[in-house]
Structure 1
Amino acid sequence: MDGIEPGDRVVRELDVFLSNGQLGQNTKLCLLQFPLRPPWRPYEMDYSRKVQIKPVAKRMQIDVPLHKDTDNYNSHADASLQLDSIQLSSSAVDMRTSYAVASIKGNSVVLTPLDEAIALRPSLAHLATARAESEPRRAAASVQEEDEKPAELQPLTVQVKRRETERQVEMRMNSYAYLQGIEADEPWVDLDAHAPDSGAAESVWSALHRTLEADVPMTLSREAYLDALLPGPSASPEVPSSMEAASPTRAAAALGARREEQPQPSTSSQAHTERPFAPAKAEPISRDAQKALADTVVAFCKSYSLFNQDQMREFLRKYKHAGAAQGLADFPAVQLREAIVASGLVLYCKGVFIQASTGNAGYDPLRSLIISLLQENDYLRKADVSGAAKAAGVPFEEKMYSKAMKELCSSKGGMWTMKKRAE
């Protein structure tokens, strides 16, 4: 076998399979982490207790029972602090690359891509509740004291609120308080939790291990296959020549050189949120279907200039004018992605398709520069964009910069990161 060092020996050979949407299109696979709990002392879950999730905000909470008949439980504490369970509350984990769960059954290894990672820690919300219950008593006592005092003249303050600028509105909408308000408005969804040895859990594992016994033609190199299977840092998205000219960055030049060294079909990395929902069937795409797909992309781009593959699949199924392209909704991820890029209407960058050009000569150069920077960086700052624009001789205007960042990115703590889907 190639790549084996002298002295190494093959212990076992296993067939590797990629889980191909056997759990359903709307199913998400999440990794639950417990960073404050060592592996040798896991939480004792009671799977009959409440488990809830907010799908959009990606928040989860789980009730874990407490043992009240131990010496470590303070039965003399205030009644509001005597709990029969603790609540684990989540925070989303930023997945800097793509991960997958590997499970071995017989001589097969099945890789299932992870959609999200969630860290769960004990919530102290019950302390806030106890404090809130005591506030009315304090307020009543304060009001009584005020009533006993003689009335005094109070100064009246009048405030005139200035109209917010576009930048101020953007900062407010990305503020912690605003995002917390949106999260608070989303209702909790109850989940059914099942023990690892339950029948429901066994059916999930069985679904993951269902494989298609068919030969799949290999048209990619080993490195390109690994990038398509599980995208990572080695993935090298295609960069159009127009973007290369606009970007002076070293990484953009390296991408162009890498393309010349490896002339092969596009192997742009696939984001972890994309997952093929149909058996991997390498069927040729007809000329009529390719043209119909291009027309469908044009129709979709009239509403959204950025979208992921899941959204395009859904649009293909529902768009009544999709015609010959409608059947492409069930094609494998890599084949559909290459067909969409082949239309020449969009670029592919970190799991999303971006409209190649808006037709605005004063806006597109800076926009293309920002896209090239996003291809090589997970996060951007304003200084990164302005510096690259100055080096490339691309006009940098505050209005155009703000427009491009709102179109392409989401703000996280003063940093900009590529959007994952049309919004």
Structure 2
Amino acid sequence: MKLEARVYSLLNDMQKAILHECDEIVLDFTAFNAKATMVVKPNFVVIGYGELTDEFLSLCINENHGYTLEVSHLLPQDFVGLKGHLGDFTLQFKNANGEIESLQTSQIVSFAPLENCPAYKGVHTPDKYDNAHCMLESLLCLCGERHYTHHIVFEPLTCQYQGRRVFANGKSVCHLCVDICPTMGISSDKDSMLLSLSSVDCIACGKCVSVCPTGSVQRQGDGLESFTYRARLYKGYIPLIVSSLDFESEGFARDFKALQTLNPLLLPFVLQVPDILNATYLLTLLQESGAPIVLYSTLGEHTHNDIATLNEIYQRIFRQNAIIGSTDSKAIEALQPLMQSHYIYTPTNKENSKDIFSARISFWIKQESYGKIAMNNSGFLHIDTAKCTLCLSCVEACNANALINNN
């Protein structure tokens, strides 16, 4: 019996149908062109000078590699900048007359430290390899037909970086996705104030989705709309958040059987990448299921503040925690659906994640007052009415709907 089948054997027909329906919803919201293919040609630029550079160039030219290599050589002082991704880099350099030119190449090899050379996949430095042969072998392994997936969907209209004006101190409004990306899946150009997404470099960790304050970055098939419809299927159950990897493990089958003994209402809520979760996703699941949430798979530190915030809100309104770990046996045993927390809300295409969170939390708060609670990427807006001329420039500039014209 397959490991996944062991888990399904612990579920009744209704529960199995819910999990299958969740899989179908993900497929429905996944674009047909999510998977793509490219050809990485055997051409690259070598940047550097000296013995190591000469050794590598000689290896490329004088030995048979199964490919006809096209190798260009550039001195470090002539390098200007690099954009693109593996298989399609645009390299800018200074020619003999000091003019800036561009050339297209598939990969880069640099034997010198370069300030404007990001660590894209396909950019090679000798410190990562034992010798020149190993480095060349790595380059050649990347050549040929390569398959990849567009994991991230980007909406630039609500992004707080894309094309936005910087502050007086030179800092941008938001670059959280760039800061947390462990690769070059998302990078920023400080001159043009534009984000660049590289599906080739993206490892689909989901962290950028979690930290985006407006939902401009979402995961393919796992966006807020898709997530809402899946969460809605869990009414009457207690969602047990588990990654796809954990769900298919032998350990989960054993642990889930034990958890079911504690509370038969637990039902796996399987996510390819649970690290996409933030306050809006979690609030959606809490309300659409009408029950607290149990975490089986460990989430990254970037989610801790959002979980703490929701637990504080839940405590003040419902006198219990909203989200607990799967090792808290006593708490799990006592968990029950909380129908007064249940709320169905279908977001529209024009709403960002802040809009959705605001609409959802308003249902719980209504006209009551529960005090102030700190939240990530939120604050108070103060307007000096004596100085305001009602020019509405701020309303036009705000793409997060924090400012609106009531006239």
Q: TM-score, normalised by structure 2?
A: 0.24
Q: TM-score, normalised by structure 1?
A: 0.24
* Bigger CA radius of gyration: 1
